[in-house]
Structure 1
Amino acid sequence: MSLIKVLSRLSAVYCLLLLLFSCQQEPSSSTVIQNVRGYTFYGDSLRTFSAVMFKDGKVVDIYNDTTFQQGAGPDIIDGRGQVMLPGLIDAHGHVMGLGFQQMNVDLTGTTSLDSTLQRVAAYSRQYPELSWIQGRGWNQTRWNINRFPTAEELDDIENKRPVWLRRIDGHAGWANSEAMKRAGINTETSEPEGGKIIRDENGRPTGVFVDAAMHLIESHIPEPSARARSKALEAALLQMRSHGLTSVHDAGVSVKDWQLYKEKADQDSLTTRIYGMIAGAGAVFDTLAREGPIESYSKDRLALQSVKLYADGALGSRGAALIEPYSDAPDNRGLLFFSEEEMTKHILKTASAGFQTNVHAIGDQANRTVLNAFRKVQDSLGRQNLRHRIEHAQIVAPEDISRFRSLGIIASMQPTHATSDMNMAEDRIGAERMEGAYAWQTFLRHGVVVASGSDFPVEHVNPFYGLYAAVTRRDHQGNPEEGWYPGERLSRVQALRSFTVDAAYAAHQETVLGSLEPGKWADFILVDRDIFEVPAREIWQTRVLETWVAGEKVYSAMDK
């Protein structure tokens, strides 16, 4: 073969390789969804748009009065006039709790003791192979019995296997006699610090355990298997994406939770982003904090740079710590889990390691104790810009609200707590203390950042329930007609902001999440109505049609 032919063939091979290489290196094409009625925060204002372009999972820009044509340019998707919103962010949920709720007996919404027992009995018959019957969601304040339930009432339907049912808020549990027997609970059992055992007039435990006392039972429940945990996470992810949640702040992550989340992220099957809060400042923190705060893992699918602490219990079980006694229980001020000195010590430990610290505080005494602790930590460490948070900030002395702003504390609040609690909150604390209760608008007027969430599975995972509660302060039947303490309602713009850009800010993620602005992840949803135009009473009925995360569709109502 002549030299010319050899060179010619080598040249052809070179050109072919060059072509293949250039094809491999060719950047991915852009995608445009147009013909939508879009809303997003853009800078400091809410903007409308008719089209959004994204590439490599991130927003290129939004457009108005621009029509893209099919051809050599971006891929075009017709939005069919649907409403587009940024992906919604729940600033306070419990991912694994949501998943296990799908697998255990769900008592949410039961309106009487009898209906609750019937639901437990049906579940017990359906799963005879279970060694423990577990569930969650009961709420005695909706049963019109004016007391806690008892072990004997559970014994009537299941006395051979242990039964353990967490209250709706997760701050009390109800056991049958077999569960108490296996845990060795009797008259002599002492209450742990930060916990309470409900007893009868003879001092015998009745079956209800509040806050820290719940561990007396739960320490005897077998750990769920790895398979069960994986199924629970899959169930939670389905619930979250089907309701338009593209990100959630998980309030209490264990070592096993984090390992499972990483596995799912590595498998590219984490369809909702998770901003994790390490569960406590103890052994779990010591293990998970070894490598320091994790700002981003797997392209912002995961983060672990915050910690969840508890200051008190819940209002429904009278575990929220109050400055003055409960109006309906004058001998009770609730349960403060830590003294101010102890709380300061815990926050110093976590903040010194560079972790944002988010503290559950519901009662006014708990909120004041936590604010005092944050001030002492700031005096010691200076302003670190860690954006510490108080989770719930439910009942706050009016004079303490301005301290959130001065200390740089974010108020992480849950609008549906107000509409769920309005049947008993004023009974618990009296009318005077309502001035600083569920006071969303007052917090905003003081310049405090308010991030909204649901606290699922305490409340429903659907964020449109929260948007509706924030805007109306009414239940789904429209009561009360003027709204419960209507001066604290949020505007529709304020409400959406609290579930998007301000929730992202509360996770140090405002540069990558929360709005459809250039360079941020293309997380968005398509819904069946315009929440800025429909009557407010319809907001909670909004249905998610599609959910997209990083420019990929992860849910479609058409696939159901």
Structure 2
Amino acid sequence: MKLLLKKGKIYQERNVFTDALYIENGYILSAGRNALLHEPALSPSEIMDLEGKTVVPGFNDAHLHFYQAGLALSTVNLYGSTSIEEMIRRSISFLENHGETLKTLSGRGFNQDYFEEKRLPLRSDLDRISETIPIVFTRTCSHLAVVNSAALKKLDLSMPLPHIEGGQIDVDTDGAPNGIFRENAIRLLDVLYEEESVDSALHHIRAAAEKALSYGLTSVQVNDIWLENPESEVVEEAYRRFAEENPSIRVYHQVYAKDLPALEKRLKSGFDRSESPFLRYGLLKMFADGSLGARTAYLRKPYADDPSTRGIPTMSQDLLESMIRKAEDNGIQTAIHVIGDGALERVLDAYEKVIQDNRNRHGLIHVQITDPDLLDRIRKLNLMVYAQPIFLHYDLHIVEDRVGKTLAATSYAFATMEKLGIKVAYSSDAPIENFHVMENLHCAVNRQDLTLFPEKGYNMKEAVDRFTALDNITVNSAYMSHEENRKGRLLPGYYADLVVLKEPYFDVDKDRIKDIQVDMTMVNGQIRYDSRIDSIE
């Protein structure tokens, strides 16, 4: 297949643009004048006039839960609920339309900080939705879940409640479970869900892909294989079929293992499986703590707004070191979820003890609560950072309350990381947040929420420019998956994965970045999303 793109503003690298690309068999073969030399030999159908539109590399979300994002589209949508009452109303309405065949009612996306009640929902609240169907609602961060009495009855927990290493089951004044499960305790709820089939998992992945392509995503680095989970093999097989049937998005797996036996079992059967340009296996994912919103992110000092807790470390120091060592010995990349400064300190201690260099490109996911010394330790270890600027949409409203003004001022330190030379890639962590790329870049550049608050931006010394933001979700994301020489730039020899934008990203007013829409998404030289066709349908 041959295609010439001409008369565009095509971004190649900082302050460098061209006006034409020649594509053949999924690769960019030439650019600029050299590309235009092919025009006389091409048919009209092989030439596309871009009419001056801005073209950028295909977006690459460096860490998200893609299958889970697709699954969320078929559960109760709790995002944006402003009260427990609204959450209950949405759920009852969902049951009226879908409740006949439900084994368990699941939903996700609530955030108690947006509720009028300013508290977490409890078992008694969910009982108002149903006393017979088990209900599991997950907070937007995925580090806290709430269930109803029917779910607790089915779980049949022993009393006293079992100790959960790295997790917690909350109780009421009588010592009975109040419905709230935190961190590792959430895994107890797996038995409540309906058994997933390959066909249904594939349906959810396709749904996520359709939405992602409309946002310009051409690559995703997914954490959906959770070893030892009942649905893990089913989801993995669904991804294999997705890559074979009609590949439209490139997938790089980030595989989660909770302990050494799970990792060793996978290593014996082969860590990498069914690899192709559209399905690759990469790193080992681990969790060191929880989330700031749920107050389970692990801090060095007690929470400023709740001195009774410092959060929850979800792995012991010995286990952290053992897992990193096993991965390092087997040439496997690692990336560890770390939000609180206490968790970051523990992880850095483990890396410093185990790795001599960073030939395997180990990294840190989130890195939200930091100080200058911790950031310098990241630099010295040459660790990579998978950051989520979109988290500022919510976190800028709570971070000072949670950790105090002093520590908040050195957190979400995107610009400081750049100055230190730390390799940073951007991601959404969907379905924690929407994988709308331009909203993510808006938060990186403007340091505002999606309503443009605060007017002058939050802690603007940590803002980055448009070039940096874009590179961090294109070529830097490709670096995280060892693909920076074939993905993330619109240069000869690279994949023809690109996005045509409806508005000029580099030229619009900064407060309009979040509203820029995708006109066309191309993967491997083929159009996978066209806004004109989509609008007709």
TM-score category (smaller protein) = over 0.9
Matched, 1:276 2:245: no
For 1:343, the equivalent position in structure 2 comes to 320
Query: Number of paired residues?
Result: 524
- Residue 147 of structure 1 corresponds to which residue in structure 2? 119
Deviations 1:19-38 (A, max 9, x none): xxxxxxxxx5x321111122
Matching residue of 1:175: 147
**500, 510, 517: which one pairs with 1:543?**
517
2:63 is matched by which residue type in structure 1? H
Equivalent residue number for residue 419 of structure 2: 445
The one-letter amino acid paired with 2:336 is V
Q: Distance in 2 between matches of 1:279 and 1:223?
A: 20
Alpha-carbon spacing, 1:88–1:546, altered in 2? closer, same or farther (3 Å): same
1:527 pairs with 2:501? yes
Q: Is the Cα–Cα contact under 8 Å of residues 22 and 38 in structure 2 kept in the other structure? A: no
2:183/2:314 contact within 8 Å kept: no
- 1:267-346 superposed matches below 5 A: 267=245, 269-280=246-257, 282=259, 285-290=263-268, 294=272, 297-298=275-276, 300-346=277-323
Q: Is the 8 A contact 2:88 2:128 kept in 1?
A: no
1:108 partner amino acid: Y
**1:411-560 equivalent positions in 2, closer than 5 A:** 411-560=385-534
1:88 corresponds, among 46, 59, 63, to: 59
- 1:359-405 Cα shifts (integer Å, max 9, x gaps): 00000011111111111111xxx325111010001112321101112
- SS in structure 2 opposite 1:467? helix
- Are the counterparts in 2 of residues 96 and 232 from structure 1 also a CA contact under 8 Å? yes
Q: Which amino acid aligns with 1:209?
A: F
Distance 1:317 1:404, change over 3 A: same
Between the aligned partners of 2:318 and 2:268, the Cα distance in structure 1 is 25
User: Does residue 235 of the first structure (1) align with residue 204 of the second (2)?
Assistant: no
Supply the distance in 1 between the matched residues of 2:292 and 2:38 (Cα, whole angstroms).
Answer: 57
Contact kept, 8 Å, 2:4 with 2:39, in 1: the verdict is no
Hey, what does 2:229 align to over in structure 1? none
Residue in structure 1 matched with residue 228 of structure 2 by the alignment = none
Which residue matches 1:5? none
Cα distance in structure 1, aligned partners of 2:157 and 2:516: 47
Residues 1:439 and 1:296: Cα distance change in structure 2 (over 3 Å): farther
1:127 to 98, 110, 116: 98
Query: CA–CA distance in 2 between the matches of 1:107 and 1:214?
Result: 18
Asked if the contact 2:202–2:242 (Cα under 8 Å) also holds between the matched residues in 1, the reply is: no
1:200 matched to which residue of 2?
Answer: 172
Q: Which moved more, 1:223-232 or 1:444-453?
A: 223-232
Cα distance in 2 for partners of 1:290, 1:80 equals 54
1:136-172 CA-to-partner distances (Å, cap 9, x unmatched) read 1010011142321111111112111001011101101
**CA distance in structure 2 between the partners assigned to 1:448 and 1:69 by the alignment:** 40
Please state if 1:257 is matched with 2:238: no
Quickly say closer, same or farther: Cα 1:428–1:64, change in 2 above 3 A: farther
Please tell me the residue identity of whatever aligns with 2:218.
Answer: T
Deviations along 1:40-67, one digit per CA (max 9) or x if unpaired, are 22xxx44211111111111112216975
Q: CA deviation at 1:477?
A: 1.7
Q: 1:131 to 1:285 in 2, by over 3 A?
A: same
CA–CA distance in structure 1, aligned partners of residues 152 and 52 of structure 2: 58
Structure 2 runs not aligned, ≥5 long:
226-231
Give, in angstroms, the shift of residue 117 of structure 1: 1.2
Point out where structure 1 has 5 or more consecutive residues left out of the alignment: 1-27
Change (3 A) 1:397 1:339: farther
CA contact (8 A) 2:76 2:108 kept: yes
Separation in structure 2 between the aligned mates of residue 53 and residue 502 of structure 1, nearest angstrom: 24
Distance 1:163 1:173, change over 3 A: same
Whether the 8 Å contact between 2:290 and 2:339 is mirrored in structure 1 is yes
After superposition, the Cα gap between the structure-2 partners of 1:64 and 1:147, relative to the gap in structure 1 and judged at 3 Å, is farther
Is the radius of gyration larger for structure 1 or structure 2? 1
Note the aligned Cα RMSD (angstroms): 1.9
> Does structure 1 residue 211 correspond to structure 2 residue 183?
yes
Amino acid at match of 1:113: I
Range that drifts further, 407-416 or 78-87: 78-87
For the residues of structure 2 that align with 1:250 and 1:169, how far apart are their CA atoms? 16
Instruction: State the one-letter code of the partner of 1:111.
Output: T
Of 41, 44, 47, 2:16 maps to 47
Q: CA deviation at 1:185?
A: 3.5
Q: Percent identity of the aligned residues?
A: 30
Which range moves more in the overlay, 446-455 or 184-193? 184-193
**Distance in 2 separating the partners of 1:281 and 1:290:** 16
